[in-house]
Amino acid sequence: MTAKFHTMIIGAGPAGITAAISAKRKGNNVLVCEKMPRPGKKILISGSGRCNLSNETLEDRYYNASSRHLVRSVLDRFGKSDIVRFFEELGVRLYTEKGRVFPATNQASSVLRALEIELERLRIPLELNFKAERILEDKGAFTVASSDGKRIECEKIVVAGGGMAYPALGSDGNCYKFAKQFGHRMIEPVPSAVALVIKDRLCHILQGQRIHARARAIIDGKSLQEASGELLFTKYGLSGTAILDISEPISIAKNRLSSKDVTVYIDTVPFLSQKELGEELKRRAAKNLKREEILVGILPNKLATAFKDLLNGPDSDKMALKLKEMRFDVTGTRGWNEAEFTCGGVDTEDIKGASLESKKKRGLYFAGEILDVQGQRGGYNLAWAWASGYVAGLTE
């Protein structure tokens, strides 16, 4: 027996749940199918468990250039004030911290529970442990078949199955095949907001050490992105927010384009200019301090000791330059289990901006991370999930 619905949502992540609520509020008969045993697992880990669900500066300029036309059209219909209103109407009180929007509870679980309560209130059924395998067509209708033989018939489909980041939580690229089935072009997915693999003795020696630093990505001799924040030395390379914020072009270069010349320059003393640092080192050298003592008070003690070999000459300015532009050659990135986001996905050129309906197949919609839309860290990616889900759920 085949169940029949007006709108079927594939994926019960942030985009899928929002699409279901949007579709049901419009009056449509809706079903949400999810391959995992419970919905919204990725919501629970967002924002380090706090759920950074949006940003006060929610604009298309914070997304990858190729997607901005689509992001702009979606945010025009469901923007930052609509997202705030949506959650406050669900009973989720919000506050802002340095532009980032969080629930007042500081718990992602409270956001997910509020969404689940709304699904229950609207009597939207959830078909869990449903792994969609095939989409069949017949006389203007769709039939979605699962891996265990279940079939569901519907008039509209919203594909919100996510990208490939955190596959253990359900995002493993399974839904890309539906885009390909209907002729959609794909931008090769690569991990983003991800730590870097660097074979350098310093990284191994200093693993676990954290400093505030400025990182700059240099690819084929061109400076492409830079960011300030925490830098974490690891046994495999570099991590921390400063690295995550410059990792997208690096991941594209290494994982998609197979570039060889990819480096990161680290300013380990961003609070002093090169001139100021040189003068400070000169003053300390005049006191006849040991090499391992010269950086005490400027850098953590372990780094001051590890960096002593950089300070083996009389030229304080050159020493300062080494500390301000410490070079690391990037050999790769960590994998999908450690990436926060997916860079790549369904080409946005094949998607109608006003509705998120496929230009290739009428009645087929896409929302969330499955699309080639990448926002900066800081709530932009979750905001895209809510906004695109709501718009796609209208299935116009």
- Distance, in Å, from the CA atom of 248 to the CA atom of 321, rounded to the nearest integer, reads 26
The closest alpha carbon to 10, from 148, 176, 149, belongs to 176
- Distance, in Å, from the CA atom of 105 to the CA atom of 84, rounded to the nearest integer, reads 15
Dihedral sign for Cα atoms in the order 247, 11, 104, 107? negative
Long-range contacts, 219-226 (Cβ 8 Å, 24+): 219/249, 219/250, 219/253, 219/259, 219/261, 219/262, 220/253, 220/259, 220/261, 220/262, 221/261, 224/249, 225/249
Residue with tokens 């959609």: 184
Span 375-383, average pLDDT:
96
Residue-level pLDDT at 39: 95
Contact 26, 4 (CB under 8 A): no
- Distance, in Å, from the CA atom of 84 to the CA atom of 92, rounded to the nearest integer, reads 9
Model confidence at 47, pLDDT cuts 50, 70, 90, reads confident
Span 193-204, average pLDDT:
94
11-27 confidence digits (pLDDT tens): 999 999 999 999 999 99
123-145 confidence digits (pLDDT tens): 999 999 999 999 999 877 999 99
Residue-level pLDDT at 1: 47
Residue-level pLDDT at 311: 66
- Distance, in Å, from the CA atom of 2 to the CA atom of 5, rounded to the nearest integer, reads 10
247-270 confidence digits (pLDDT tens): 999 999 999 999 999 999 999 999
270-328 confidence digits (pLDDT tens): 999 999 999 998 888 888 888 778 888 999 988 878 887 766 666 788 889 999 999 99
Domains of the chain (ranges; CATH) run 3-190+343-393 (3.50.50.60), 196-333 (no CATH)
Q: Which residue has the higher pLDDT, 170 or 274?
A: 274
Confidence check: pLDDT of 3 > 90: no
- Distance, in Å, from the CA atom of 337 to the CA atom of 38, rounded to the nearest integer, reads 19
* Structure token digits, residue 245: 């914020």
Residue-level pLDDT at 212: 96
**CA dist list (Å): 221 to 163, 224, 237, 262, 283:** 30, 9, 21, 8, 35
Residue-level pLDDT at 2: 62
CB atoms within 10 A of CB 98: 7
What percentage of the chain reaches a pLDDT higher than 90?
Answer: 83
Q: Which residue has the higher pLDDT, 140 or 62?
A: 62
CB atoms within 10 A of CB 300: 15
**CA dist list (Å): 127 to 6, 91, 100, 365:** 15, 25, 33, 19
The closest alpha carbon to 346, from 355, 358, 338, 354, belongs to 358
| Average pLDDT value for the chain | 94
Residue-level pLDDT at 28: 96
The amino acid that residue 376 corresponds to is Q
Q: What is the pTM of this model?
A: 0.93
Q: Which residue has the higher pLDDT, 283 or 160?
A: 160
Residue-level pLDDT at 302: 86
Indicate the length of the chain as a whole number: 396
User: DSSP string covering 256-280, please?
Assistant: IS--S-EEEEEES-TTS-HHHHHHH
3-state SS assignment for residue 363: coil
220-255 confidence digits (pLDDT tens): 999 989 999 999 999 999 999 999 999 999 999 999
Burial 325-359 (b: 16+ CB within 10 A, else e): ebebebebbbebeebbbbbbbbbbebbebebbbbe
The closest alpha carbon to 303, from 207, 200, 228, belongs to 207
Span 364-383, average pLDDT:
97
Residue-level pLDDT at 231: 97
Model confidence at 36, pLDDT cuts 50, 70, 90, reads very high
N- to C-terminal Cα distance for the chain?
A: 28
Confidence check: pLDDT of 217 > 70: yes
